[in-house]
Amino acid sequence: MASLAETRKMEGLRTRLTALRRMLASMAGLIGSDYATKEQAWEMLEGLFNPLAHALTATAITIVAWHNWHAYGSLASVPAAIIVIGTFAIRLAFVRRFHRRGPDARVSDWVRRFASSSFIAALGWGSSLSILLYTTEGATRFAVFALISAPIQGASARAYAMPGGVILHISIVLGMISVTATAFGVTVAIPLALLYLWYQVGFVSELFTFRTRMLKADHDNRALLG
């Protein structure tokens, strides 16, 4: 019995590792590209280009910057607001182009464009949040630490479509923030960031497995129905 239980544990571990390897291999493409139809691919891209998370993050960072000026008379946080608003403007430009795409548009081209816009967003969010960590104090800094989870969770919510890109996005944001926090004197920032990243990888991996199974089942049903 013990041997059977150990065997099942090892099989479960191998399954998880295989799913993780496939997920990370999807860095430059949509999930389940072998099974998804063209319509499903465009639907996934529609969700990926949704600017709501960017709008909320930009608003929150701008509010913190305004509060730092209003409460403490400091303009040191203004660059954070400028960066994140600029990042949001770039995302809106991508969204506008996506919605105006022609009938000959190719999914692969827009996957690459989304990857580029996601990379820009990660740099923008990481930079602006790092600036806030440096330029705020007291209770406001606690609010910044709470705010850090917002863009990360926003990215994770899109993991069903492009998990590899999500992990890269999260890694950039957490990396920039943890280095800044370490320089600021928070010596446990990098270990905590790695633990948080591992948690997000596990979460994204579960979404990846679930979504892939759904797409494969739908693909098999279409094949059976002819």
159-178 tens-digit pLDDT: 667 777 788 888 999 999 99
44-82 tens-digit pLDDT: 889 889 898 889 889 999 999 999 898 888 889 999 999
Q: Is the pLDDT of residue 127 over 80?
A: yes
The structure tokens listed for 140 are 């406001």
Query: What is the C-alpha to C-alpha distance for residues 96 and 180, in angstroms, rounded to an integer?
Result: 34
Residues 6+ apart with CB under 8 A from 197: 170, 171, 174
DSSP designation for 29: S
Query: What is the C-alpha to C-alpha distance for residues 34 and 82, in angstroms, rounded to an integer?
Result: 41
pTM greater than 0.75 (yes/no): yes
Q: How confident is the model at residue 27 (pLDDT cuts 50, 70, 90)?
A: very low
